[in-house]
Amino acid sequence: MPSPGTEGVKRGYVIPIGGSEEKFNSRAILSRFVDLSGGSVARIAVIPTASELEDTGDNYVDIFRDLGASEATALVINQRADAQSDDQLAILEQSSGIFITGGNQLRLSTILGGTPVARAIRRLNATGTHVAGTSAGAAIMSEHMIAGGESGATPRQGSVSLTPGLGLTNRLVIDQHFRERDRLGRLLTAIAYNPFLIGLGIDEDTAAFIDPEGVLHVEGSGAITVIDPGELEYSSMDSAEQGDTISLIGMRVHVLAKGCSYSLATGVAAFAKKPGSLEEK
């Protein structure tokens, strides 16, 4: 569950990225994250736990320093004992931005789940620290995390597996590499299990910058598919057998490109009609 906020203090942004974000040319998503985190005084903590590649953390450290952050440090969290280290916690406590890399989201949840580092990330976000994550790092941000599933556009009973995530938000379930890996069906299935959740399907090189008021702003070269079950009239999930196709009637779907926004509180989407103006729908 998200940590309770502090009166008079705004929450930090929550920034799920669909994976494969641009790292060499425009770097719009990573640049905006650094700017939000303080620009030339930003202190970025990188958590490369999801990746088993030795240079993942160092590569992001180099990128964030090149983008102007005053400090960038990769935490060393390869086992659960590391997530209880005072040294690692001290780096987090001093950070203005936390970045969780891609890799295997189950590696993230099994190593970080229930540890002081996980609790610190929730608390820090509630008191103003911005938290971004790409690919696996995006999936783990919500309370309900997609751990795996089948490709394809059709929702089917049993086509997705869920596990607890970090809980920076309890309103969303997030899937990444969305269009590229054809993941509409498994996201719809995840929502069908609990229609309280809003589904975000995030394409590669695309991010949702979710502000302290719960408004999502789209950045990047792809799109975010928002699946809103607020007006769901009927679901066959309760009677479906393993592998059965699920009927869902009354879903609202938005496809949002750069410049669009969506309010998690009101369900209102808006698009950039021209620079400096938004039109709601």
CA-to-CA distance for 214 and 199, rounded, in angstroms? 14
Catalytic residue among 51, 95, 96, 135: 135
Catalytic residue among 51, 130, 159, 204: 204
The DSSP secondary structure of the chain, one letter per residue, reads -PPP--TT-PPPPEEEE-S----SS--HHHHHHHHHTTGGG-EEEEE-TT---TTHHHHHHHHHHHTT-SEEEE---SSGGGGG-HHHHHHHHT-SEEEE--S-HHHHHHHHTTSHHHHHHHHHHHTT-EEEEETHHHHTTBSEEEEEE--SSS-BTTSEEEEE---SBSSEEEE-STTTTT-HHHHHHHHHH-TTSEEEEE-TTEEEEE-TTSEEEEEESSEEEEEE-TT--EE-GGGPPTTPBPPEES-EEEEEETT-EEETTT--EEEEEETTEEEE-
Q: Is 93 a catalytic residue?
A: no
Catalytic residue among 130, 144, 177, 217: 177
Q: Is 3 a catalytic residue?
A: no
Paired tokens of 45? 């903590």
CA-to-CA distance for 120 and 86, rounded, in angstroms? 12
Q: Is 161 a catalytic residue?
A: no
Enzyme catalytic residues: 135, 177, 204
